[in-house]
Structure 1
Amino acid sequence: MKEDYQLHKFTKGLTGLAVSLTVLAAGFLSPFTAKAAEMDVKVQVNDDLVRFPDAQPFLDDNHSTQVPLRFVTEKLGYEVDWKKVGNQVTVTLDNSHHTVTLISGQKEALIDNSPVTLDTPPQFQNGRVYVPLRFLSNTAGIPIQWDSSSKLAILSNDGQHHAPDYQVFESTAYSADPSENGGFGAFDFLGNRLAVGTVAVDPSVIPLGTKLYIEGYSYNGLPQGGMIAYATDTGSSIKGNRIDIFIPGSKQALRSYGIQKIKVYKLSE
Structure 2
Amino acid sequence: MNRLTKGLSCLAVFATVMVGSFVTPFSAHAAGMDVKIQINDSLVHFPDAQPYLDANQSTQVPIRFVTEQLGYSLDWKKEGDQVQVTLNNDKHSITLTSGQNEAQIDNQQVEMDTHAEYQNGRVYVPLRFITQASDIPVHWDSSSKLAILNKDGNYHPPDYEQFQATVYSSDPSENGGYGAYDYMGNPLKLGTVAVDPSVIPLGSKLYIEGYDFNGLPTGGMYVYATDTGGSVKGNHVDIYMPGSKDALQKFGVQTIKVYRLPN
TM-score, L = length of structure 2: 0.89
Given that residues 87 and 93 in structure 2 are in contact (C-alpha distance below 8 angstroms), is that contact kept between their aligned partners in structure 1?
no
Say whether 1:11 aligns with 2:12. yes
Aligned residue in 2 for 1:221: 215
Alpha-carbon distance in 2 for matches of 1:214, 1:79: 31
3-state DSSP of counterpart to 2:68: helix
Alpha-carbon distance in 1 for matches of 2:6, 2:152: 43
Residue identity opposite 1:196 in structure 2: L
3-state DSSP of counterpart to 1:72: helix
Measured after TM superposition, the shift of residue 60 of structure 1 is: 2.5
Residues 75 and 262 of structure 1: is their aligned pair in 2 closer, same or farther, counting only changes over 3 Å? same
CA offsets per residue over residues 72-91 of structure 1, 9 Å max, x none?
A: 01222333344556666554
Residue identity opposite 2:59 in structure 1: T
Given that residues 86 and 95 in structure 2 are in contact (C-alpha distance below 8 angstroms), is that contact kept between their aligned partners in structure 1?
no
Residues 111 and 58 of structure 1: is their aligned pair in 2 closer, same or farther, counting only changes over 3 Å? same
Aligned residue in 1 for 2:45: 51
Alpha-carbon distance in 2 for matches of 1:87, 1:106: 12
CA offsets per residue over residues 195-217 of structure 1, 9 Å max, x none?
A: 10000001111110000001111
For structure 1, the residue ranges without an aligned partner over 5 or more in a row are 15-29
Identical columns (%): 63
Residues 60 and 82 of structure 1: is their aligned pair in 2 closer, same or farther, counting only changes over 3 Å? closer
Given that residues 44 and 152 in structure 1 are in contact (C-alpha distance below 8 angstroms), is that contact kept between their aligned partners in structure 2?
yes
CA offsets per residue over residues 130-181 of structure 1, 9 Å max, x none?
A: 2111110111121111111100001111111100100111100001111111
Given that residues 37 and 54 in structure 1 are in contact (C-alpha distance below 8 angstroms), is that contact kept between their aligned partners in structure 2?
no
Given that residues 10 and 187 in structure 1 are in contact (C-alpha distance below 8 angstroms), is that contact kept between their aligned partners in structure 2?
no
Residues 198 and 34 of structure 1: is their aligned pair in 2 closer, same or farther, counting only changes over 3 Å? closer
Alpha-carbon distance in 1 for matches of 2:84, 2:108: 19
Aligned residue in 1 for 2:158: 164
Higher mean displacement: 101-110 or 123-132: 123-132
Higher mean displacement: 84-93 or 31-40: 84-93
Aligned residue in 2 for 1:36: 30
User: Pairwise CA RMSD of aligned residues?
Assistant: 2.0
Residues 125 and 80 of structure 1: is their aligned pair in 2 closer, same or farther, counting only changes over 3 Å? closer
Measured after TM superposition, the shift of residue 31 of structure 1 is: 2.8
TM-score, L = length of structure 1: 0.87
Residues 62 and 84 of structure 1: is their aligned pair in 2 closer, same or farther, counting only changes over 3 Å? closer
CA offsets per residue over residues 221-248 of structure 1, 9 Å max, x none?
A: 2111111100000111011111000001
Alpha-carbon distance in 2 for matches of 1:165, 1:154: 9
